[in-house]
Structure 1
Amino acid sequence: ASVLAGARLVRPLHALTGAAQRLRDGEEHASVPVSGDDEIGRLASAFNDMSAHRARLEEQRKAMVSDVAHELRTPLSNIRGWLEAAQDGLADPDPAFVSSLLEEAVQLQHIIDDLQDLAAADAGALRLHPEPVRTGELLSQVAAAHQARAETAGVRLKVEGAAPAPELHADPVRLRQAVGNLVSNAVRHTPAGGTVTLRAYGDGSKGVVVIEVEDTGTGIPADDLPYVFDRFWRAEKSRSRRTGGSGLGLAIVRKLTEAHGGTASATSTEGEGSAFTLRLPAAGPVGPDGMTTAP
């Protein structure tokens, strides 16, 4: 009986040891059979879950490296092409030439800055400098910053909200960055004649301040909606980087919102428009009228 019990105990442990060694040696997904619901079986299940999670992380890492290389290659290739053309005498270094190079360099800098922000957020090293922020003023500042781009695209940009606007205790620079990314994304995907609306209000039942950016644009398919905050995600895979952005803006929105203790979500109806919502802790208790009061 002791020998049989020992054999039953040793066999699954040997399988676990072998799987752990294969995992160490680089096998992407090493798993072991789960033979029961005892302690050994639960250990085997936990090991399989860990192995599967590690495989998913490795796939994400490979995809991330590939996407970063692709994003950096595009502006660098353009810069190299222009410079080689100038060197061969095929392009004159006139103001238009310099402007084109500057545009590509700015695009490259934006991608690097976005990646740096995401890396800092992932490492928990994203520095915030919170202070009292009036959401109405913040939305007006963001709208003013994007007004020229909206007018060029033929899109109406407006701010709605009750007065006085609810207050937040947040980093105004980072919060403007998050809302600005949402507005930029909304303007880019709203056809001429459409509208992008910014609004803020307090949710008295949950003690949060809600910031919404709503557009009347092309919308997002239901199958794609769960992935809109993923890095380098694009609904239109074929569109160019210039018209489609770097694919990092919404990922940064989520990270900045989470760094403030809030959440980011999106709803959309294809062909009718989308709404992106940030829910952030209020600076003080939220009254029944939706306004924050002094803590």
Structure 2
Amino acid sequence: MQGVLDLLEVAIIIFDQSGRAVYRNKAGARFDQARHGDAVVKDAINRMVAATLIGGAPEEELELLGPPAQVWSLSCEALRSDSQPQGVVVAVQDVTSLRRVEKVRRDFVANVTHELKTPIGALAILAETIATGDKGADTQELAERLVRESNRLGRMVDDLLDLSTIELQDAKDRRSIAVGALVEEALGRVSALARQRQVTLDFVSRGEEAISLLCDQAQMVNALTNLLENAIKYSDSGQLVTITAYRGDSRGGVVVEVSDDGAGIPDQDQERIFERFYRVDKARSRSTGGTGLGLSIVRHVVEAHGGTIVVESEEGEGSVFRLTLPNSSDVIEEENL
């Protein structure tokens, strides 16, 4: 039984009727000689054990501000003989990740509600103005605004569906594809936007032999398209957006960089730009038709393919988004092990 309990991530500690610990599983041993945050948890355990021995059976969730911030779930159950407590079993579980996920979900629902409410409200007002036949209203302008808002709403729904699909499918439809082909397809999708904003696009491929990825083509092109669109929208007329592909230094791998000379990203925003609906410049994002989901989609695609994404940026100097992904031979070799 002890071997089974030692496999649990939940800390199990048993106390006798005097409040002395007589058993700890492996996870519970950390609270024996506790320091820092663990010491706070240990104090809470002792307090709850004392309360349980006099008739209570408390449960508590303990939040530690850290760093690192942690959330612990503590529960006690009395061991009774003839209705008298003879000891206490305590279960202690680190629920930090669970609470973080719950918060992300709550925030996501709240953000979706807010983001959808704005264009839907605008559509309703514009439609009502046209329907009432307001003679002072410019019908052509109202119609154009209706189209813009409906397009914005459509893009947001499309991005939400893309994000959900990526999270569910986990890049299962993978095949070996040349990086150049992926980049060219993404460049084709953003060429009209680049011409409209008078931004120059450049593709640089380094390496003697063709570089390929084992990837879901639709997802990877979607990710590259989002990065390019983001770079174009935050660049000024006459500026350059460059996408570069090359082999990584360690154990092969493929690196794809999208760089621009645009506005750059403030330091305090760089850690949050991959969150759903997070915008550095809300006014500029909305004016350019952004949904606030593009970089979140990119991150999910890259992680689903076993890669990483980082950003380097300075305000007024531009940004570089760097994707590091396993190439075809790396992935095939790992899957054959």
Q: Does TM, scored on the shorter chain, surpass 0.5?
A: yes
Name the CA distance, whole Å, in 1 between partners of 2:242 and 2:115. Answer: 30
2:238 maps to 1:198: no
Is the helix fraction higher in 1 or 2?
A: 1
> Which position in structure 1 is the counterpart of 2:120?
76
Structure 2 CA distance for aligned equivalents of residues 195 and 104 of structure 1: 29
* Whole-angstrom CA distance in 2 between matches of 1:184 and 1:21: 44
Counterpart in the other structure of 1:210: 255
Over the matched positions of the two proteins, sequence identity in percent amounts to 35
Which structure 2 residues correspond to residues 253-292 of structure 1 after superposition, within 5 A? 253-284=298-329
Matches for 1:151-166 after TM superposition, within 5 Å: 151-162=195-206, 164-166=209-211
Over 3 Å counting, the alpha-carbon distance change for 1:240 and 1:285 in structure 2 is closer
Q: Specify which of 158, 171, 174 is matched with residue 113 of structure 1.
A: 158
Work out whether 1:8 is the aligned partner of 2:19: yes
Distance 1:140 1:57, change over 3 A: closer
- In structure 2, stretches of 5+ residues that fail to align are 1-14, 21-45, 64-70, 76-89, 332-337
TM-score by length of 1: 0.77
Query: Once the two structures are superposed, what CA deviation does each residue of 1:190-226 show, in whole Å capped at 9, x if it has no partner?
Result: 1122110011111252221111101111111122211
Cα distance, 1:149–1:17 mapped onto 2, change above 3 Å = farther
Partner-residue secondary structure (3-state), 1:264: strand
Instruction: Please tell me whether residue 18 in structure 1 is matched to residue 63 in structure 2.
Output: no
8 Å contact from structure 1 (residues 146, 184) kept in 2: yes
**C-alpha deviation, 1:82, in angstroms:** 1.7
| Equivalent residues in 2 for 1:80-229, closer than 5 Å | 80-90=124-134, 98-122=143-167, 124-126=168-170, 128-162=172-206, 164-229=209-274
Per-residue CA deviations over 1:140-172 (Å, capped at 9, x if unaligned) read 222222122112212111111136430111121
Is the alpha carbon distance of 1:199 and 1:87 closer, same or farther for their aligned partners in structure 2, counting shifts above 3 Å?
same
**Greater length-normalized contact order (CA 8 Å, ≥ 6 residues apart):** 1
How far does residue 232 in structure 1 lie from its aligned partner after superposition? Answer: 1.2
Judge conservation of contact 1:139–1:199 (CA < 8 Å) in 2.
no
Deviations 1:22-50 (A, max 9, x none): 99xxxxx78669xxxxxxxxx77x54x42
Deviation string 1:31-72 (CA, Å, 9 cap, x unpaired) is 669xxxxxxxxx77x54x42x545444433332222111211
Counterpart of 1:12, as a letter, is: M
* SS, match of residue 186 in structure 2: helix
Report SS of the residue matched to 2:288: helix
More strand by share: 2
Q: 1:139 corresponds to which letter in structure 2?
A: V
Q: Return the alpha-carbon distance in structure 2 between the equivalents of residues 172 and 83 of structure 1.
A: 40
Report how far residue 98 of structure 1 moved. 4.7
What residue identity is the alignment partner of 1:19? E
Question: Which consecutive residues of structure 1, in runs of 5 or more, have no partner in the other structure?
Answer: 24-28, 34-42, 287-295
Q: CA deviation at 1:242?
A: 3.4
Could you tell me the TM-score, scaled by structure 2's length?
A: 0.69
State the Cα RMSD in Å.
Answer: 3.1
1:265, CA displacement in angstroms? 1.4
Q: Quick one: which amino acid aligns to residue 290 of structure 2?
A: G
Between the aligned partners of 2:104 and 2:330, the Cα distance in structure 1 is 40
Match of 1:250 in 2: 295
Which protein has the larger Cα radius of gyration, Structure 1 or Structure 2? 2
1:53–1:131 Cα change, 3 Å: closer
Amino acid in the other structure paired with 2:129: A
